[in-house]
Amino acid sequence: MKFDKVLVPIDGSAMSEIAVDLAVHSAGTFATHLTFLYVVDTSAARKFGEVDGDSAILFSKAAGKLALESAAKMAEDAGIPYETVMKMGIPWEVISEATKEHDMAIMGITGKSGVVAGRIGRTAAAVIENAYCPVLTLKSGSSKIDSILLPVANKNEAAIDVAIETAKRINGSITVLSVRDRENPASEDTAREIVARIQAEGLEGKFELVEGSVVDSVVTRSGKYDHIIMGTHGRKGLKKILNGSVAERVVTNASCPVTIVR
């Protein structure tokens, strides 16, 4: 697992500025190179008709130029290698395709598409569902990551690898949380095996077994940690999970950044 190339989609919203801030502050930990990507939304332009649509595209390009320049300045001031990219298309499609060439994406869950009925923004949801790399989601400012919460129901190797690599880079700790409820008779043995693996890597690993709702257990503990890393299985499984279930509710309600790993 490596975190060398990090993608930071931006749309000019306050939340995308927070994503840029975290990416820049954590560069060197998560990345050696940042790509700031702004997508001119052609689908939104079509809603206004041919003439007004052209104006909308020109306005979006101008806004994108300013947003990219702002992100570039932050990276330059911090001495972080970066590139800025502007593309035309459907935002989630362009961003998801770009994740093929990156090791991680950092993005806000409430961009210009906002939230609906407590759910994450449409673009963020679609990117999480279709991304080819882990997606670190944000809904508030945070530039500090020392402690990691790793909820587990089984051995999701990808999520474990991301948690271990992250902890190594930040010299941080990992708490493995196993939640037992009716639908998930959590295996204490599995969780303890994961802790042993973490400790074998020379990291501080802790174990916690609780009973109750998975979402409630994770969300109520999110304020005690700087980062949550959650694993999911496969595209179809992730789509089902994001449909108002565990992952989406954790992403929406957690007090700290959440990384979703397939």
Q: pTM of the prediction?
A: 0.84
Confidence of residue 171 (pLDDT cuts 50, 70, 90): confident
Residue 30's SS3 state is: coil
Domain boundaries, the chain: 5-138, 147-261
Residues contacting residue 28 through CB under 8 Å, at least 6 positions apart: 80
Homologous superfamily of 147-261: HUPs (3.40.50.620)
pLDDT of residue 149: 96
The one-letter amino acid code at 232 reads T
Domain 5-138 indexed as CATH 3.40.50.720: no
Average pLDDT over residues 167-182: 86
pLDDT tens digits for 47-104? 655 556 678 889 999 999 999 999 999 999 999 999 999 999 999 999 999 999 999 9
Mean pLDDT of the chain: 84
Phi and psi, residue 244, nearest 5°: 75, 20
Whether the domain at 5-138 and the domain at 147-261 fall into the same CATH topology:
yes
The region of weakest confidence among 56-70, 123-137, 222-236 is 222-236
Taking 90 as the threshold, does the pLDDT of residue 156 lie above it?
A: no
Residue 181's SS3 state is: coil
CA 144 to CA 149: how far, in whole Å? 14
The region of weakest confidence among 86-100, 139-153, 241-255 is 241-255
